[in-house]
Structure 1
Amino acid sequence: MLRFSNQSHAASYYAATVNDMTRHAPLGGTLEVDVCVIGAGLTGISTGLNLAERGYCVAVLEASKVGWAASGRNGGQVIGGYACGMDTFARYMPAEDVTRLWAMGLEALEIVRERVTKHQIDCDLRFGYLHAANKPRDIAALRRWRDDAQQRFGYDKFRYIERDMMADYVQSSRYLGGLFDPDSGHLHPLNYTLGLARAACEAGVQIFEDTCVTRIRDKNGMHLIETAKGLVRARFVVLAGNTWLGTLAPDLSRKIMPVGTYVIATEPLDPVRSAALMPAQAAICDSRYALDYFRPTPDHRVLWGGKVSYSTLAPANLGEAMRRDMLKTFPQLADVKVDYAWGGLVDITMNRAPNFGRIAPTIYFAQGFSGHGLNITGLAGKLIAEAIGTQAERFDLFGKIRHRNFPGGRLLRTPVLALAMTWAKMRDLI
């Protein structure tokens, strides 16, 4: 392993406050392992760590750096469950299977907690998440979800926060109420990803950065994973590249859509002023389709995300554009400067449900986390390791979900979805 500066990551608050500068040499020559994982984001690293704990010899190949893409750039919100509603799963499976998926959604949160504790990952993990209501219809929807979670799944931890109590969570007149989840929360995603990578290496995983996979072919019952300067021979392959798989797995790429999302971090505030903005120190997300999400940081900044874009084009003058959005919720921050502004791509599926499966008996994939990747990636890694270890029942439960290709093909799907987002933003205004 090598150590040098962190200039290879996107310029962001996370890169500026990273606490692990470990780097990994590129692959050179030929290597033989049990499992080759392609992609060193949270999905790939989690899979490698789980497999190594089961005694497998694992190599992880990364075209850039560990945590370079969405895993190290996202809003840092660890939100329980899935981006889709539980009724999405109910279309494809009986009620008892839906209940099992609900339990796995809670398990995903516990995986984050356990990993941070076990491996002493310094990533500022805090608990508490508020889903804030923008419109009266959102109030009804959040209350229905609270009741549904209790009646269908026996989950009684959601608390509905009435408008007159919202000041205990956020100092803004913009929201009409909210649903509080004490088991969800927020963390520093790049430090979390790098902490998992350290744990994976300690468990025996070999990570190779700056190692782009160019082709996968089969020979004599083995998968041959080719790179510019090396070759990996493996019995199993795990595709964990999400939006960056491209032509390596075109059938998978058609099932997901790259979506741009953007984040700013303000300058540090006076600690008393910072605490007054979000007294519960919880992560917060609003209820619009084109949503805003925000949270406090340990050094008293406001970290604000939004501007979701299906065109993947960043807004002009990104920092100022995001700051204007922030002031709609926090006009009292008009005198506060923005220190960092950045963006990146996340992957979504048509129905927002995770897309797990196989493209061959010994080639696994997990993608389509649709904004819930900080926790569901940990679950994906655990389930893939179980499946390779011959217990595939839980992994195969996700295979019951049918995933459609995005319409429009390679050339037209982005403008088609951009039009859909325009309509969604208009609906938010109604």
Structure 2
Amino acid sequence: MASSVLAPDAKSTSFWWEGHDQASLQQSEGSPPDRADVVVVGSGFTGLSAALTLARAGRQVVILDAEQPGFGCSTRNGGQVGPRFGPSFAELSASYGVERATRLKREGHNAYDYLTALIRDEAIECSFETSGHLLCVHAPGRFGPAAKAAEAEQKAFGIEAQVIPKSEQHREVGSDAFHGVILFPGGGALDPMRYHRGLLGRVMAAGAMLFAGQKVLGVERDGQDFAVALPGRTIRARDVVLATNGYTGDATPWWQRRIIPIGSYIIATEEIDPALMAKICPKRRMLHETRKVVYYYRPSPDQKRILFGGRVALSETDPRISAPRLHEAMVRVWPELQGVKVSHSWMGFVAFTFDHLPHVGSQDGVHHAMGYCGNGVPRSTYYGHKAALKVLGRPEGASELDPLEFQTRPLYRGTPWFLAPSLLYYKLRDRFA
């Protein structure tokens, strides 16, 4: 089956990497210095955002990454960005009360506003556009609750939302697979690789140093400083920022026990006839579904392909095997794409948390920002900045997340053995909704 949906020259690398030489990404020459004001571990959006704030504040910043810059999900995601901050307002209110839920929701909006302002002010060319997001209702029983939740957020936070019944949904998406849609016109999209490259350029221009291929083996307190262990050597730093998100490993076990890495899989199709693209995506919207086991998809920035992603595997990391599953789900939405081949199939690890919220703070003096729960582009940019402000001791670094415990579970050591029964449970809920 795999060979039937894959193009003869299909690639198992991110579609966003096309036209970019990963090895040519900006980085510093030579070896990392023996000392730094701040060591940032990870060169994705979180690490670069933190480094930019710190370097412009005059700190000597060294960024370390085990791979090439942005190797993880920063350049593997779908590029959908928006102000909505899940869980829902009702779920947050039930857990934390209405007042704190309101503040948490507003901080989600702040993250989106910070991202869009950064792109504008830094003149980062990344195909950013306010395309609008469609929440596609996959079952009749989900339409009412989705509409009610959208109306509540519109009333409480001013997020524009339009409830569109099934009889009118074709003006937004050319599919009969849904039972109405909710349009959020304020959502947007970007090219994550171009955004990463633009952000990296600003970071290097600010004077930060970045060293790829530097696997951090551990971080320990050493008097007033920290010792950051690398193979064969150690870097001393006044402060450390962990920005490893879904790639947090055993070098930092306290954080590994609090991060749930989940594979997110995406395919890109071959180029599609323009008339068919205009039919299935008439208004260039970003789309995702009301399913608990989420699917998300979009037209490419040049409107020639569909990028279709979702959680379709637990431990399987071979994109050539996940591609047929995503292709089947795509054809469920648009049967007209049955014969369209897959040109790219790839995956990356996103980071979930036990309370479904991101976390920014410190443990034993080591700062962190991670756990974006599938909404990583705005959150990572914003909370990387927040982590840097905390390092600088600035009051603007305060976050509504500060009082929340960064939870773990007994016996959890970073391998999410519980995902299999959870995925099965939520798939059954989606099927019988």
Q: What is the TM-score with the length of structure 2 in the denominator? A: 0.90
Aligned to 1:339: 343
Q: Contact 1:72–1:190 (CA<8 Å) still a contact in 2?
A: yes
Paired positions, count: 419
Aligned to 1:193: 196
> What displacement does 1:428 show?
0.9
> What displacement does 1:401 show?
2.1
Aligned to 2:217: 214
Which of the numbers 303, 309, 313 marks the counterpart of 1:309? 313
1:44 match: secondary structure: helix
Aligned to 2:117: 114
Which of the numbers 413, 423, 426 marks the counterpart of 1:421? 423
> What displacement does 1:75 show?
1.6
> What displacement does 1:209 show?
0.7
Q: How far apart, in 2, do the equivalents of 1:137 and 1:401 lie?
A: 33
Percent identical: 27
1:235 match: secondary structure: strand
Counterpart residue type for residue 247 of structure 2: W
> What displacement does 1:26 show?
6.9
Alignment of 1:131 onto 2:135: yes
> What displacement does 1:166 show?
1.3
Per-residue Cα deviation, 1:303-348 (whole angstroms, up to 9, x for no partner): 1111343435557633223211110001011221111111121111
1:309 match: secondary structure: coil
Per-residue Cα deviation, 1:217-260 (whole angstroms, up to 9, x for no partner): 33341112121255432211101112322122212111121111
Q: Contact 1:222–1:234 (CA<8 Å) still a contact in 2?
A: yes
Q: Contact 2:79–2:192 (CA<8 Å) still a contact in 1?
A: yes
Per-residue Cα deviation, 1:344-377 (whole angstroms, up to 9, x for no partner): 211111221112221123x111111010101101
Aligned to 1:5: none
Structure 2: gaps (5+ residues): 1-10
Structure 1: gaps (5+ residues): 1-8
2:400 match: secondary structure: helix
Q: How far apart, in 1, do the equivalents of 2:126 and 2:33 lie?
A: 35
2:416 match: secondary structure: helix
Per-residue Cα deviation, 1:365-412 (whole angstroms, up to 9, x for no partner): 11110101011011102211222222346535313223432465338x
Which of the numbers 10, 13, 20 marks the counterpart of 1:11? 13
> What displacement does 1:62 show?
0.7
Q: Please show how residues 143-182 of structure 1 align to structure 2 within 5 Å.
A: 143-153=147-157, 155-182=158-185
Counterpart residue type for residue 228 of structure 1: P
Aligned to 2:5: none
1:336 match: secondary structure: coil
Alignment of 1:330 onto 2:334: yes
Q: How far apart, in 2, do the equivalents of 1:162 and 1:348 lie?
A: 32
Per-residue Cα deviation, 1:19-57 (whole angstroms, up to 9, x for no partner): 884242576253432211100011111111122233322
Aligned-residue Cα RMSD (Å) equals 2.4
Counterpart residue type for residue 348 of structure 1: F
Q: What is the TM-score with the length of structure 1 in the denominator? A: 0.90
Q: Contact 2:89–2:153 (CA<8 Å) still a contact in 1?
A: no
**Compared with structure 1, are the counterparts of its residues 317 and 246 closer, same or farther at alpha carbon in structure 2 (3 Å cutoff)?**
closer
Q: Contact 2:248–2:259 (CA<8 Å) still a contact in 1?
A: no
Aligned to 2:8: none
Alignment of 1:375 onto 2:374: no
